[in-house]
Amino acid sequence: MTPDWSPATVLLIVDWVIRIGALLWIPSRTRPAAARSWLLLVGFIPLLGLPLYLLLGHPWLSRRRVQRQAQVSEVVREEQLPLRALRWTPDGGAAFEMAPLVERQGAFMPTHGNAVALLDDYQAAIDALLADIDQAREQVHLLYYLMFDDAVGDAVTAALCRAAARGVCCRLLLDAVGARRGLRRYRRPLRQAGVEVHELLPGGLRWRRSGRMDLRNHRKLAVIDGRCGHVGSQNLADAVFVPGLPNRELVARVQGPVVSHLEAVFAGDWYIETGQRLPYQHDCPVHADDVATQLLPSGPAYPYENARDTVNALIHLARRRIVLTTPYFVPDDATLAALRIAALSGVEVQLILSAGNNKRLTSWAQESYYDDLLACGVRIALYEPHFLHAKHMSVDDGIALLGSINLDIRSFALNAEIGLICYDRGVVARMREIEADYLRHSRALDPAQWRMRPAWRRSREGIARLADTLM
């Protein structure tokens, strides 16, 4: 009997070969939660699911980038050895456990002698950055995920060109995807003015030398003359660069030894992208404010998920109150468990999210977590006046974390991020004031009313949640 090799039969055989191969291959190379989502997609649509998994299923980086990150971390550890007098040693509490964890993962020791000013006003933060660039005398280093071709992009470009004309060494690192419009508009005039411009994680035909196509450098930081730095959630764009959703952000302007650590993060990304080694700044003037800080870099080039581990450790170490502010909340199982345990243990857990969101699928997915969180006592507030793009958390009265880290799987596992940890009651008190202002302009989610939402919304949330590893 002649076998039936009709197109339908061949397609059926290929479908099942893909399904069985995916079942044997994907779970061994992907985390269980992500593997379930990918297997579901491959099971339903094999011919689409397999190529998507090959492109987006594993957060791989090129071997060269991973090796360079390891070299950067080793250099950071070695360069800090002569600066032991700047090390801050916690005398107990949560900081006693947090500081060693963050140092072992991200390489940066906690330092004393810093000043931290929290800038909650969008335009004031832009103005402060422009003023610092205009006062620069030696060098300006900017590393940003997004630079838009708008009034802020024009102003930053003009400030960099003025600085370069004064003989200041200016370098600009921009994410190849997030800053696509800014690179297209400003790269040529900046280079003509003498500013060194490079894109991070370029795609196209070069993606094999970078990594998985959707991995991004999401950091936002600036270092000027080694005397001050800026780090936070704010990009180089107008507050209304997304029409109808004006952003509200939080940026820290810092002085002291932490500035040299920000410089090291920039130099590390510069080296990973270009292969060029920049000199490490050793001049670390101690500031009278004497705030203890520590940098938390994270990303797929590190052996651990630094951001996720730090956030979860902070949640577990809280004894009285945690406030978490994020525009995107699509956590993994470990973070959900940490929040549940904290709330059930009697810790006041307050989650502040944005009522409006520029990513619809993400908004639907994060709503799927509300039932479980509300049931165990987590308070959820939806901020209404703006798109709350700020990313920070405060723990009890002594620890604050802010930067570019979202509380989602993408930020934990796929993006290069930067966080600033402040072990200081004064900084936490200032952050509490900002959080209180958020809450005054937020709508508290009522558990009883939330459970009355229609069934079609529950279904939409559940379907969107299946794509959590891609968000």
Q: Which of the residues 175, 391, 408, 468 is marked catalytic? A: 391
Q: Please, which residues have CB within 8 angstroms of residue 465's CB and are 6 or more apart in sequence?
A: 330, 365, 368, 369
- Taking the C-alpha atoms of residue 273 and residue 200, their distance in angstroms, rounded to an integer, is 6
- Show the tokens assigned to 274: 């270009």
- Taking the C-alpha atoms of residue 238 and residue 122, their distance in angstroms, rounded to an integer, is 9
DSSP 298: E
Q: Please, which residues have CB within 8 angstroms of residue 286's CB and are 6 or more apart in sequence?
A: 86, 112, 113, 256, 257
Q: Which of the residues 290, 396, 397, 441 is marked catalytic? A: 396
Distance of CA 471 to the CA centre of its chain: 13
Give the pLDDT of residue 246: 92
Region for residue 201 given its phi and psi (left: phi exceeds 0; alpha: psi -120 to 50; beta: otherwise): left
Q: For 384-447, where are the E strands, in sequence order?
A: 387-388, 392-395, 399-403, 407-408, 417-423, 442-444
- Taking the C-alpha atoms of residue 162 and residue 430, their distance in angstroms, rounded to an integer, is 34
- Taking the C-alpha atoms of residue 314 and residue 65, their distance in angstroms, rounded to an integer, is 29
Q: Which of the residues 112, 141, 220, 392 is marked catalytic? A: 220
- Taking the C-alpha atoms of residue 339 and residue 427, their distance in angstroms, rounded to an integer, is 23
Distance of CA 370 to the CA centre of its chain: 22
Asked if residue 387 lies in contact with residue 360, where contact means CB atoms within 8 angstroms, the answer is: no
Angle, helices 306-317 vs 333-344, to 10°: value is 10
- Taking the C-alpha atoms of residue 174 and residue 244, their distance in angstroms, rounded to an integer, is 25
Asked if residue 286 lies in contact with residue 256, where contact means CB atoms within 8 angstroms, the answer is: yes
Q: What is the pLDDT of residues 192-251, one digit of tens each?
A: 999 999 999 886 555 555 666 778 999 999 999 999 999 999 999 999 988 888 999 999
Give the pLDDT of residue 281: 66
User: Which is nearest to 239 in space by CA: 126, 99, 408?
Assistant: 126
Clarify whether 225 is annotated catalytic.
Answer: yes
- Taking the C-alpha atoms of residue 201 and residue 401, their distance in angstroms, rounded to an integer, is 26
3-state secondary structure 58-89: CCCECHHHHHHHHHHHHHHHHHHHHHHHHECC
Clarify whether 149 is annotated catalytic.
Answer: no
Cα end-to-end distance, the chain, whole Å: 51
Clarify whether 4 is annotated catalytic.
Answer: no
- Taking the C-alpha atoms of residue 124 and residue 229, their distance in angstroms, rounded to an integer, is 15
Q: Which of the residues 287, 386, 389, 392 is marked catalytic? A: 389
Clarify whether 220 is annotated catalytic.
Answer: yes
Q: How many residues does the chain have?
A: 471
Q: Which run of H or of E encompasses 349?
A: strand 348-354
Give the pLDDT of residue 5: 67
Clarify whether 389 is annotated catalytic.
Answer: yes
User: Which residues sit opposite 248 in a β-bridge?
Assistant: 388
Place of tokens 């966080």: 419
- Taking the C-alpha atoms of residue 134 and residue 158, their distance in angstroms, rounded to an integer, is 10
Asked if residue 262 lies in contact with residue 117, where contact means CB atoms within 8 angstroms, the answer is: no
Give the pLDDT of residue 108: 96
Asked if residue 354 lies in contact with residue 389, where contact means CB atoms within 8 angstroms, the answer is: yes
Q: Which of the residues 225, 332, 408, 468 is marked catalytic? A: 225
Q: Please, which residues have CB within 8 angstroms of residue 284's CB and are 6 or more apart in sequence?
A: 83, 86, 111, 113, 256, 257, 259, 260
- Taking the C-alpha atoms of residue 86 and residue 95, their distance in angstroms, rounded to an integer, is 17
- Taking the C-alpha atoms of residue 383 and residue 443, their distance in angstroms, rounded to an integer, is 6
Question: Cβ atoms within 10 A of the Cβ of 150, count?
Answer: 16
Q: Which of the residues 112, 141, 218, 386 is marked catalytic? A: 218
Place of tokens 């857990």: 349
Structural domains of the chain ordered from first start: 8-55 (no CATH), 63-92+110-293 (3.30.870.10), 306-470 (3.30.870.10)
Region for residue 154 given its phi and psi (left: phi exceeds 0; alpha: psi -120 to 50; beta: otherwise): alpha
Question: Cβ atoms within 10 A of the Cβ of 41, count?
Answer: 20
Residue ranges of the chain whose pLDDT lies below 70:
1-5, 10, 28-29, 33, 54-59, 203-212, 281-283, 468-471
- Taking the C-alpha atoms of residue 118 and residue 432, their distance in angstroms, rounded to an integer, is 11
Give the pLDDT of residue 468: 67
Give the pLDDT of residue 283: 67
Asked if residue 53 lies in contact with residue 38, where contact means CB atoms within 8 angstroms, the answer is: yes
